[in-house]
Amino acid sequence: MGTTAALLARPHRARFAGVLLMLALFLVCSPRAFAHAVLVRSTPADGAVLHTGNITFTLDYNSRIDERRSVLQLTGSGSQAIALTTETPTGPAQLKAAARGLKSGVYHLAWQVLAEDGHITRGAITFTVAGK
Ligand SMILES: [Cu+2]
């Protein structure tokens, strides 16, 4: 190994290790990318206008989720969280909860789910409770 090669060896090796690490991460992550939980359907739908303050929320995902490590948070026009009652989902790819006695207004249901591949995804649906 010549002097020039010896001088270059260290930074090159570090860069090579970095490339290998990125490649390894890519190989580990990409086949499982399909297992990310994506919301495919919700009740109410995003943008829905409802004429009741008693709502059962169902969120269906494209893959199995860890229900115990998933979070649903309902907020109204204030930033305070509104209590939700957890309900038994119909399958391993669903979150289900209910709220009772919501007044007229705009609400946001924020969700965060842990998919079986260990990745977390988040989103929110907005709906309106209109006069009955
Ligand atoms: Cu993933």
10 Cα to the center of ligand 1, angstroms: 34
What mean pLDDT is reported for the chain?
Answer: 86
Is the pLDDT at 114 greater than 50? The verdict is yes
74 Cα to the center of ligand 1, angstroms: 25
Is the pLDDT at 117 greater than 50? The verdict is yes
Question: pLDDT grade, residue 73 (50/70/90)?
Answer: very high
16 Cα to the center of ligand 1, angstroms: 26
Among 14-23, 79-88, 107-116, where is mean pLDDT lowest? 14-23
121 Cα to the center of ligand 1, angstroms: 9
64 Cα to the center of ligand 1, angstroms: 12
> d(Cα 125, Cα 41) in Å, to the nearest integer?
11
Q: What is the pLDDT of residue 80?
A: 87
What is the rounded radius of gyration, in angstroms, for the C-alpha atoms of the chain?
Answer: 23
92 Cα to the center of ligand 1, angstroms: 16
Q: Looking at the domain 36-129, which fold is it?
A: Immunoglobulin-like (2.60.40)
Among 12-16, 35-39, 90-94, where is mean pLDDT lowest? 12-16
114 Cα to the center of ligand 1, angstroms: 9
36 Cα to the center of ligand 1, angstroms: 4
Burial of 120 (0-12, 13-18, 19+ CB in 10 A): middle
| Domains of the chain, residue spans | 3-32, 36-129
pLDDT tens per residue across span 9-26:
566 677 777 777 766 666
> d(Cα 12, Cα 2) in Å, to the nearest integer?
15
Residues 75-87 have a mean pLDDT of 92
28 Cα to the center of ligand 1, angstroms: 10
Q: 10 Å Cβ neighbour count for 21?
A: 10
